[in-house]
Amino acid sequence: MTVFSDGDFDLKLKGMFRSFDVDNGGSIDRSELLTFLYSAIYGLCKLLDLKTPSQNQVLEYSYSVFKEIDGDNSGEIDFEEFVDWIKANIDL
């Protein structure tokens, strides 16, 4: 959605962050990341008619991604960590 929308890259980052931060707490916790990844992965698999991964596979993936993004190991991803991760990951 953010790829095809108009607007400044920084505004797109804020929108992306807000889509993960479901409770508007200002950070993304493990549960919020997992919820987002479940929805995104299962939705894409359904859309592309691909086999969906198991819940355990998505859970393991979410732990891996969370650990990568949570640079200070606080147990939450703040906006700066999220932006750093997005900007450092060329695939995104």
For position 27, which CATH number holds? 1.10.238.10
Q: For residues 67-73, give the mean pLDDT.
A: 95
- DSSP H/E element including 5: none
User: Residue 90 in 3-state DSSP?
Assistant: coil
Give the pTM: 0.81
Q: Is the pLDDT of residue 78 over 60?
A: yes
17 within a domain of the structure (yes/no): yes
pLDDT digits (tens, 9 = 90+) for 40-65: 999 999 999 999 999 999 999 999 99
**For residue 31, what are the domain limits?**
9-88
The mean pLDDT value for 15-28 works out to 93
What is the tally of structural domains in the chain? 1
Q: Please state, in angstroms and rounded to a whole number, the distance separating the CA atoms of residues 35 and 38.
A: 5
Identify whether 60 is part of a domain. Answer: yes
**Where does the chain have alpha helices with state H?**
9-20, 30-47, 55-69, 79-88
CB 77 within 8 A of CB 27: yes
